Structure 1
């Protein structure tokens, strides 16, 4: 897409949510990769949107499945998806692979976790994950685990001693330490513990919407000051009403740039490119899904059955073009927009995934 800059989604999904098995999976708390639908529409929409690369979530996040075994299985499933769609998809191990994906008109697929529970008590597993191509590891989901506290853990206890060992092992193997969903102390302590820059791949700014899933200016500033990356999501948490709009996305990007500087902010939508076609049917099942998350203790403040887990006026194949138009209208230069849409994540990937420590 020559009319668009490089677009890298620091956290997103490759899926057709309208396909029957994907719609069914959406109602579950821990859908497996086999239930995703990477079909012709998924790929066509991703190409049409101008997407260059996306960090997808695989492995254990929550639920009753055995974390380590399930994670290894999901990596194998995604290897199969990429292999079966080699003309369209490219597994990303290095920043050079992202550049290659753009040159070859393919979509770079970055393997990432949204919970590090699969490490178990053995940091040696991180070497296994790295060898298998995992490149992003989020320390916690919303709840606490044995590594640190998530954003909804009331004690806000920070990293555990084992959590520090996990961060050190991630550093050693050149994996991104993602602090999305983490509690405030966990985020600050991990950023200070890490030798390499860390990231918050999908978040909002708490100064604009005081909800736990959003990050304080102190967290944002610290991550950026150490060479890290902050991705703004297209999620309901951008507005305390739960009804976030494209204008909210822009305001959170602007605030993050003001706090972090223009070299450290990007996007991590936490959504698909392919739109849900039947929103009425989706809304009918949403209340049950939100209730299940709440009962399982994994929901976040701001999730309600009357809110959508995406921004209604910033979705579908034109979502990135629309965001660019809004940022231009805000007075952002093309150079700054290119950084936000993908350049900053690529530079961050160069700093973390490269053999040498850059700080």
Structure 2
């Protein structure tokens, strides 16, 4: 059920406190990482459907063992894994239900290494058991059709993160690339209330500014922006204004910084750009509300020339489908080259130390802040 207002205010006031059970994460395997938006895929075998623009179905195939082991070797204990409809010609509802079934099958197939996350406690359990927690998340709301009650269905199927829009407008509100910058629609307001009632995270990544501000003000539970950058540093629509960041944090929410080209005006981001955006977000939001949502995986690319050829086609396909973002160009890479592979988070932690960040703050950014936020929304 929805959080009563007095409980929400109490949760928001307590955001500087880390629950004891969360602070007690074992450290014998290095710093734990929760990726607020990531993925389990092998970039060395790129599929034509990575953009979500052309895919017609999801094959029921296992995940490559190396991909899982790379994620675990990176210190990752949980990933918000995008599934369901993003864009393309398929039926949004049917495709989304099919993908949920496929991922349920994959988790059963890899039950020794993967664990489906329904509560914050499941993330702690994954860490204790040496497994990777898989959080089911959406990046669009088109699978809802015009039926707000479908939020109940998807919650029952285990979806725990619901991003309201992708880059363009949908029946819920405007995305980051929608020129009108309209806010939540009446249907969007109903959906936010229904997601609150089901204790599902409301994610405003990819949203337009007014949609984000409307949702943050309306929601009875804290909301998140799971993968973004700071527009004050790089003025691109996929990044969030200080007003958005500050409002989300002031209401107890979470902001994840991505490893994406939009962190740099030239659309070629460096590790230093990631650190700058994290630092700005911490200054705006406070150190208890910032984490990481890389928007990428943890398996390194072996053949960059081949991969760049694939990415150029993917960016062209995204532009043709109308879902590309400002800042994407033929030379864009959807990651930071210095932050690839299983060592990416250890490299980032080292750069944050050089910036003067103490270990406690680094742990918050890598995992504890998302855990705190997850416990507020999901329980457990």
Secondary structure in 1 aligned to 2:47? helix
- Structure 2 gaps of 5+ residues are 1-26
Assess if the C-alpha contact under 8 Å between 1:27 and 1:286 holds in 2: no
Aligned to 1:261: 286
Distance 2:163 2:230 in 1: 18
**Cα shift readout 1:150-171 (whole Å, capped 9, x = no counterpart):** 0000000111011000000000
| d(CA) in 2 for partners of 1:294, 1:68 | 24
**Structure 1 residue 38 and structure 2 residue 63: aligned?**
yes
**Which deviations, in whole Å up to 9, do the C-alpha atoms of 1:263-304 show, x marking residues without a partner?**
000000000101121110111222221111111110000000
Alpha-carbon separation, structure 2, partners of 1:282 and 1:142: 24
Structure 1 residue runs of 4 or more that deviate by more than 6 Å after TM superposition: none
Mapping of 1:78-227 within 5 angstroms?
78-227=103-252
- Matched with 1:289 is 314
Residue deviations 1:14-56, cap 9 Å, x none?
Answer: 112223xx43433762445438861111111111111100000
Task: Give the drift of 1:66.
Answer: 0.5
Q: Is the 8 A contact 2:43 2:307 kept in 1?
A: no
Matches within 5 A, 1:332-351: 332-351=357-376
Match of 1:68 in 2: 93
Contact 2:183 2:211 in 1 (8 A): yes
Separation (CA, whole Å) in 2 of partners of 1:346 and 1:115: 23
Following the alignment from structure 2 to structure 1, what is the Cα–Cα distance between the partners of residues 119 and 281?
26
User: Relative to structure 1, is the Cα distance of residues 37 and 154 closer, same or farther in structure 2, using a 3 angstrom cutoff?
Assistant: farther
State the 1:114 CA deviation. 0.3
CA contact (8 A) 2:51 2:318 kept: no
Number of paired residues? 353
Matches of 2:270 and 2:44, distance apart in 1: 22
Residue 349 of structure 1 aligns to a residue in which SS? helix
Deviation at 1:11, TM superposition (A): 0.2
Long gaps (5+) in structure 1: none
